Every structure is written in C-alpha cells, then in structure tokens.
Copies of this chain bind each other. A is one copy, B any other.
Amino acid sequence: MSIAGNVGLGDLPRICPLISRRVQASSDSTETRVVQAGPVRFGGARPVVIAGPCTVESREQTLAVARAVKAAGAEMLRGGAFKPRTSPHDFQGLGIEGLHILSEARRETGLPIVTEVMDPRLVETVAEYADMLQIGSRNMQNYPLLVEAGKSGKPILLKRGMAASLCEWLGAAEYIAKEGNLEIVLCERGIKAFSAGEYSRNLLDLSVIPAVMEETFLPVIVDPSHSTGVSNMVERASCAAIAFGSHGLLIEVACDHDGAQRPICDAAQAIGPATLCNILRFIDSRMESRILRKAHAV
C-alpha cells in the first residue's frame, strides 16, 4: 500500500535546502541565525518579547497598550491592522488607518512594529509601515503571499498553520528563502487536536521547538495567547515556552485606557500589563542565573 504525499523529516533537505541545517554547511553547528527587526535581535542570547493588542481598534487603545508594554519591558509592538476573521461580517481591522496608528505608536515608544499582511497586493504597502511582516496561520501555505513577503526585503514572522506538520511549515519558510530572504522567524501558536475547545483554544505544542532547532538555523518563538486562548494560562505558557528553549514570545495585551472598552477580538486571551511584567521578570531571572552559572564555572 503506497500513500500519496507522505513525507518525513528525512525529506527536509529536498523540501527546504536553503534553510535546512543539514544542507547548509555553515550551520552544521547548533547555532541559530540572528534575525534582526530594527534593533531587535531574534535568536540571540536573550528571548525577545513582542507584545501588543490583538487588533488595532483605535488610536487611544493602541497608544495606551503600546505605552504599557514598553513600560513593562517588551522590545517590540504587535497589533493587527488587517485581521483575518472567520466571518466576513466581523470587524476586519482598520486597514491603512491601523498602520498609521501603529506608526504613531512606534514614534512615541520607540518600539519596532510587527503586523500581519494577508494580501500579496498589499505587501509593499504594509512593508512601508512595518518593521516586520507577519504571515498568519491561515496563510502559512498561501504561496503567492510568501513569495511577495520574500521579495519585500523585510524580516518575516511566519506562524505555523493550525494543522501544519513540521515539514509543511519549513516548506512554507523555504518559499520566502527562495526569494533571497533568510530573515525569517518561525512562530508556534498551538495546533488543532481533539482536546481543543474543552479547556484551551488550541494545543500548545512546545516539543516542536527543539525539533525546529534541530532541522533549521532559523529562530523560533511562541504565541502563548492563541495557543491557549485563556488569559490566565498565558503567564505559565510563556514561562514554559522560555524553559523549553523558545527564542521569544508574541503576546496579546489589553489594558484600561481613555475611553476604555473591552477589546472586540479575542478578549478572553489578552493579559494585562502586570502579567506581562511577571513574564519579563521570569526572563530576567533566567538570564541572571545563566550569567551566575558561567561566572561560577570560571
């Protein structure tokens, strides 16, 4: 019995030679390629925390959250201007206006911004505003979009598809790499499983992190917000992701602000700034203990 389409990790050198650790001689080692988005370095010694609202819903809300995540110590701002929604009748984001608001938030806080692009015809436009382009889960295998993202010259945050195997995910990254763009950061965000919906939104799959690191030199981060879908799991999931070796976190944050109201999208998974502080303290303490261990070793 022969099954069409069956591939395994052994096929990766053929599927994605440009990003395969086994193929690229320079990456025989266990080193990670450092990907830069403005001043932010993914894959370096310290995990990167990206935080911000799910969606840019208004100027007030976005600036309030941006200030709060900056104060908490996040290094980069996230926020959706173009939002993929299950229903076409749901709020689809503010579009270009959302990009303007994000730019203003960057000016004020100094945080570089990452935001999603869904349409290959808009890659150039979004790239004018953003420091890093996000390809969302629904579009992980939207190949024309990946090609445009590759051509944009911007660093790309490539989320894992909801049911993507590791081979499919790295194959998607190869589409970007083939356009000459190796500035790619992978992002695990939970997968579909039988248990999804009972106590969490998706199933956070941390084991994929060391598997990614074994197969490619690209950095990999974790989105604890979409993978759990439950705000009071986000801190634990964040710390666990760091303990599992993640190069960073992508976190949704909501906060009170002038004219405050609950966010329209995914309110149930957003954390407040205080919780974000706890996560950053956890990272600090791990960095310190590493330095201490090294000092001891000397």
Contacts and interface: CB of A to CB of B under 8 A. Distances in A.
Contacts of A40: none
A9 B6 CA distance: 14
Contacts of A203: 191, 193, 203, 205, 207
Interface in A196-229: 196-201, 203-211, 214, 225-229
A84 B163 CA distance: 16
A204 B201 contact: no
Contacts of A119: 120, 144
Interface in A1-51: 1-9, 14-17
Nearest to A196: B194
A7 B244 CA distance: 27
A96 interface: no
Contact of A118 (B143, B211, B237): B143
Interface in A96-143: 118-121, 138-139, 141-143
A239 to B, nearest CB: 4
Q: Which of A194, A207, A226 counts the most B-chain CB atoms under 10 A from its CB? A: A207
Contacts of A206: 204, 206, 236-237, 240
Contacts of A79: none
Interface residues of A, number: 85
A205 B197 contact: no
Interface of A: 1-9, 14-17, 84, 86-89, 118-121, 138-139, 141-145, 161-163, 165-168, 171, 174-175, 178, 191-201, 203-211, 214, 225-230, 232-233, 236-237, 239-245, 266-269, 282, 285, 289
Given A1-B199, A3-B200, A87-B171, 16 more contacts: A2-B268, A3-B201, A3-B230, A4-B268, A6-B197, A6-B229, A87-B174, A119-B144, A121-B144, A161-B162, A163-B192, A195-B205, A203-B205, A204-B207, A236-B245, A285-B289
28 contacts: A1-B211, A3-B200, A4-B229, A4-B230, A5-B268, A14-B89, A86-B168, A88-B143, A88-B174, A89-B178, A118-B143, A118-B144, A119-B144, A120-B144, A121-B144, A142-B142, A191-B194, A192-B194, A197-B197, A199-B207, A199-B211, A203-B205, A204-B206, A207-B233, A210-B233, A236-B245, A239-B243, A242-B243
